[in-house]
Amino acid sequence: MIPIQFDKPRHLKFTLPAIKDMEANLGGQPLGAVMSLLGQVGITAITVALWAGLKHEDKTLTPSLVTKMLSDYIEKGGRTKPLIDALSAALDETHIFKTDDDEDREGNAPAA
């Protein structure tokens, strides 16, 4: 889990169901495309990714509620870059993009 300071201290965590929900709420775009949108500071992608990554600790969150929270956050001087960095770190924690080459660089044997 990756801690963030948003409307209050929270923790981002992406489960496979959360990633599926995120992709579905972004028109079925695959995770790689979602990550690209995050890098381009796509507000819809940021909002949906925050919702998907935070709903594990707050089941009452909806994309609409997170949109309002993000709007309030930005109006109070919050920056999107720390949120995007935290979202990227939380997605990295899933190891979905990890390859055998990554494991080789870490000193682990490749999968047989």
51, containing H or E segment: helix 43-54
Contacts of 41 (CB under 8 A, 6+ apart): 80, 84
Given this model, what pLDDT does residue 100 score? Answer: 55
Each residue's pLDDT tens digit, 32-86: 888 888 888 788 999 999 999 999 999 999 999 999 999 999 999 999 999 999 9
Contact between residue 97 and residue 30 where contact means Cβ atoms under 8 Å apart: no
Each residue's pLDDT tens digit, 100-111: 555 555 555 555
Distance CA 37, CA 71 (A): 18
Q: Where are the domains of the chain?
A: 2-95
Instruction: Say how many residues make up the chain.
Output: 112
Secondary structure of residue 11 in the 3-state scheme: strand
